Amino acid sequence: MSSGFLDRESTIAPPGYNRFLFPPAALAVHLCIGQAYAFSTFNLPLTKLLGITHSAPSDWKLTDIGWTFSIAIVFLGLSAAVFGSWVERVGPRKSMFTSALCFGGGFIVSAVGIHFHAIWLLYLGYGVLGGCGLGIGYISPVSTLIKWFPDRPGMATGMAIMGFGGGALIAAPLSILLMDHFKSPTSTGVLESFVTMGVIYFMFMMIGVLVARVPAADWRPAGWIESAHRKPLVTNANVAVDMAWRTPQFWLLWGVLCMNVTAGIGVLGQASPMIQEIFSGKVTPSAAAGFVGLLSLFNMGGRIVWASASDYLGRRYTYMVFFLLGIALYSLVPWFGHLGSRALFVAAFAVILSMYGGGFATIPAYLRDVFGTMNVGAIHGRLLTAWSVAGVLGPVLVNYIRQFQIDHGVPKAQAYSITMYIMCALLLVGFLCNFAMRPVNEKYHYRGREPASTPAK
């Protein structure tokens, strides 16, 4: 039976294919969906759709708009978990195409919602449809990258997941540029920007769709011989996705990811007010925006640097570094604030955010080490529910604890100290989860044969 252009069988690479052609395909998708981190650029303009220069009484409230991002992150985790096995089965091309349809379509549906001033369409478009595009797009290249780079899985997945961090760096100035271009006395320019971004992102993601190729089942990098001496925790067996989540290792890694993300995501969301309040009168709003930008850069850079380093350090030791160094830095941050040292404060958070990004980028390779390559994409999809939980837990912890302290008379400059110590406690939980990691019991190993694939004609 002949296979369609999007089918996995059509994407099996012929002999001699350059494996370094696949990372740009993965990056094309991740650079687009990383836009999610910059959604806040639209927050204020979305509150002025009717008033244009100011918020009219019937305009949407900031708290209502804030739900859009939260819904998108929840649907990212849910869709990654639900569609993980499907993504694994159909391969990267069809899943990237689906992601492009959902993500680009999400912008268009949201634009319709803006036109009719119906917030439920914004939730449905960017939140639900866009969120599914995020989840499917995020996991679509991961297992293929691991198969193309069995010698450097950390570096390979780090490269793609770096794109997710980098996507915000592109989307933030692009959104401002587009809104400025389309702004008129009768429009904030958001609707037109949404339509333009939907089309641009769909087309850019199509680069990934066109280029995506999977290696043949028996393909190995030229000259690469699998080491007979495997590192501890690294297996050459496979665990099926439906079995993996029944193992303690899955839940320990779920805890590792959830704690690492919770500790970083809350700070990322509150970075601007935090530095202004801790260094009251010394940091302007514009300098605080610079601080947020710097953290985004380290978040992106940490993804490729730490994930590549994990190929040499081993995944378990890399996370040990994240948790121990994170605990040390979080406990020092209040002291840096008391000293009034902006440089030390910024440096500490730069390293913390690099490890936040590194945690995301290293986890697929950790899963491959523990559960094998067979279903690593689907297992990764299920593990991403930890991100959904952390996406709610992190900001809630930082915001509510800060508010609780201010309500009880603590000066704003000191209101973050307790939060930092709570972050240390979370990281300690993550450290213990990682410390408890052991190889998966053989009873969970997959006994059948992996599905074979032959090169496309």
Query: Cβ distance 96 to 140 under 8 Å?
Result: yes
The residues, ordered by sequence, that sit 6+ positions from 116 with a Cβ below 8 Å of its Cβ are none
Please report, as residue ranges, which positions from 165 to 224 form the binding site for other proteins (by CB under 8 A). 166, 168-174, 207, 211
The minimum distance between CB 53 and other proteins, in angstroms, equals: 25
Footprint of other proteins on residues 334-363 (CB under 8 A)? 342, 346
CB of 163 to other proteins, least distance (A): 7
CB of 30 to other proteins, least distance (A): 9
Here the tokens at position 381 are: 């999809």
For the CB of residue 381, give the shortest distance to other proteins in the complex, in Å: 23
Contact, 451 vs 374, CB < 8 A? no
Task: Say how far residue 405 (Cα) sits from the centre of its chain.
Answer: 31
**CA distances in angstroms from 119 to 79, 115, 126, listed in the order given:** 22, 10, 11
User: Shortest gap between Cβ of 54 and other proteins (angstroms)?
Assistant: 26
Say whether 226 sits in a helix, a strand or coil.
coil
Handedness of CA 424, 325, 77, 203 (dihedral sign): positive
The answer to whether residue 31 forms part of the interface with other proteins (CB under 8 A) is yes
Q: Which of 12, 13, 27, 81 touches other proteins (CB under 8 A)?
A: 27
User: Which of 19, 48 has the CB closer to other proteins?
Assistant: 19
**294 near 345, Cβ under 8 Å?**
no
- Which is nearer to other proteins, 119 or 283 (by Cβ)? 283
Site for other proteins in 81-120 (CB under 8 A): none
Burial grade of 34 (CB within 10 A; 0-12, 13-18, 19 or more) = buried
Q: How far apart are CA 3 and CA 10, in angstroms?
A: 6
Q: Under rule CB under 8 A, which residues in 1-20 are in contact with other proteins?
A: 18, 20
Judged by DSSP in three states, 62 sits in helix
Smallest separation, CB 141 to other proteins (Å) = 12
Instruction: Give me the 116-135 binding string for other proteins, x by CB under 8 A, dash otherwise.
Output: --------------------
Interface with other proteins, residue 294, by CB under 8 A: yes
Residues 6+ apart with CB under 8 A from 266: 393, 394, 395, 396, 397, 398, 399, 419, 423
**Closer residue to other proteins, CB minimum distance, 171 or 195:** 171
* Residues of span 271-290 touching other proteins by CB under 8 A: 283-284, 286-290
Q: Which of 8, 11, 13, 28 binds other proteins (CB under 8 A)?
A: 28
At 306, phi and psi to the nearest 5?
-70, -40
Q: Which of 296, 354, 388, 417 binds other proteins (CB under 8 A)?
A: 296
Q: Which residues bind other proteins (CB under 8 A)?
A: 18, 20-21, 24-25, 27-28, 31, 163, 166, 168-174, 207, 211, 283-284, 286-291, 293-294, 296-297, 300, 342, 346
